[in-house]
Amino acid sequence: MEFENVITERHSTRAFLDKSIPREIIEKLLFLSTRGPSAINLQPWEFTVVMGEERQRLSRVLVKSMRERNISCGPGAVRPLPEYFMDRQRKLMDSILPYLEKGTDFQDFINEGSCNFYGAPVAIIFTIDQAFSKSRLVDVGIAVGYMVLAAHNLGLGTCPIGLISAFADEIKEMLNIPEDKDVVIGVAVGYPDPDSPVNQSISARAPLHEVARFY
Ligand SMILES: Cc1cc2nc3c(=O)[nH]c(=O)nc-3n(C[C@H](O)[C@H](O)[C@H](O)COP(=O)(O)O)c2cc1C
């Protein structure tokens, strides 16, 4: 299906220009991200915006922990997944690998890249108050969705970084995030590097009949 809209054009960005984002643009992005719906208008999302030298410092902490604790991006499954899920994961790897420098290990690229927010000038950490149940993570996920689309409209690229939730303690300590908040996810934000091969990678989607049923 062909559509002329932002949804079909947006892809995750994994290489950014070394160019800072003006504060007004970041505020606009946060404003747009918080226009989404939330259950009984609770708006449970909270953001910590990390930029400049602090962003670099955060990445140093994350990379160190990732290596020490041997943490890796994974599906976050609590049981073995049916084969079709594994197939989608393999297809993501197949869509990125051809664009990486020869000899680069895919998992290393993703793990190190994620901890470095792929070089983006801004990392936005999404947190939620621990008083909420897991149901409210849906609302935070909606804000992530709004953010990646709004960023695209503003000429910015994004990559959601779920991996960082494994380093919640380190992140909370470094950014003085209160004890009673949970780190949900991060989003790397910056201007996409148009010359970087990896940004040409396009991930496939399962055909509708695999994910939708009509009654
Ligand atoms: C909840 C969530 C967590 C993600 N975590 C990571 C991550 O830790 N590292 C990474 O490189 N990409 C991460 N991604 C990006 C996905 O790999 C990407 O969205 C997916 O492959 C589809 O590709 P697209 O965004 O280009 O359409 C995450 C995406 C979502 C929605």
pLDDT in tens, the chain (215 residues): 666 666 778 999 999 999 999 999 999 999 999 999 999 999 999 999 999 999 999 999 999 999 999 999 999 999 999 999 999 999 999 999 999 999 999 999 999 999 999 999 999 999 999 999 999 999 999 999 999 999 999 999 999 999 999 999 999 999 999 999 999 999 999 999 999 999 999 999 999 999 999 99
In a domain, 210, yes or no: no
> What is the distance in A from the centroid of ligand 1 to the CA of 94?
14
pLDDT for the residue 42: 98
Residue nearest to atom 19 of ligand 1 (CA): 12
In a domain, 209, yes or no: no
List all residues 6 or more positions away from 187 whose beta carbon is below 8 Å from its beta carbon: 123, 124, 126, 144, 147, 148, 158, 159, 160, 161
For the CA atoms of 160, 166, 167, 169, the dihedral, rounded to the nearest 10 degrees, stands at 120
In a domain, 214, yes or no: no
Question: 3-state SS string over 34-90?
Answer: CCCCCHHHCCCCEEEEEEHHHHHHHHHHHHHHHHHHCCCCCCCCCCCCCHHHHHHHH
Here the CATH number for the domain that contains residue 191 is 3.40.109.10
* Burial classification of residue 112, based on how many CB atoms lie within 10 Å of its CB (0-12 exposed, 13-18 middle, 19 or more buried): middle
pLDDT for the residue 4: 65
How many CA atoms does the CB half-sphere of 59 hold within 13 Å? 23
In a domain, 64, yes or no: yes
* pTM metric for this prediction: 0.97
The reply to whether ligand 1 has any atom less than 6 angstroms from the CB of 186 is no
User: Which residue range(s) make up the domain with 30?
Assistant: 11-71+81-199
> What is the distance in A from the centroid of ligand 1 to the CA of 79?
21
- CA dist 98 and 120 (Å) reads 22
Closest C-alpha among 83, 177, 87 to residue 125: 177
116, 63 contact by CB (below 8 A): yes
- CA dist 108 and 97 (Å) reads 12
Largest CA distance in the chain: 54
The reply to whether ligand 1 has any atom less than 6 angstroms from the CB of 111 is no
pLDDT for the residue 9: 85
pLDDT for the residue 3: 66
In a domain, 2, yes or no: no
The reply to whether ligand 1 has any atom less than 6 angstroms from the CB of 161 is yes
In a domain, 121, yes or no: yes
In a domain, 41, yes or no: yes
In a domain, 39, yes or no: yes
99, 198 contact by CB (below 8 A): yes
Which atom of ligand 1 approaches the CA of 148 most closely? 25
Tally of domains within the chain: 1
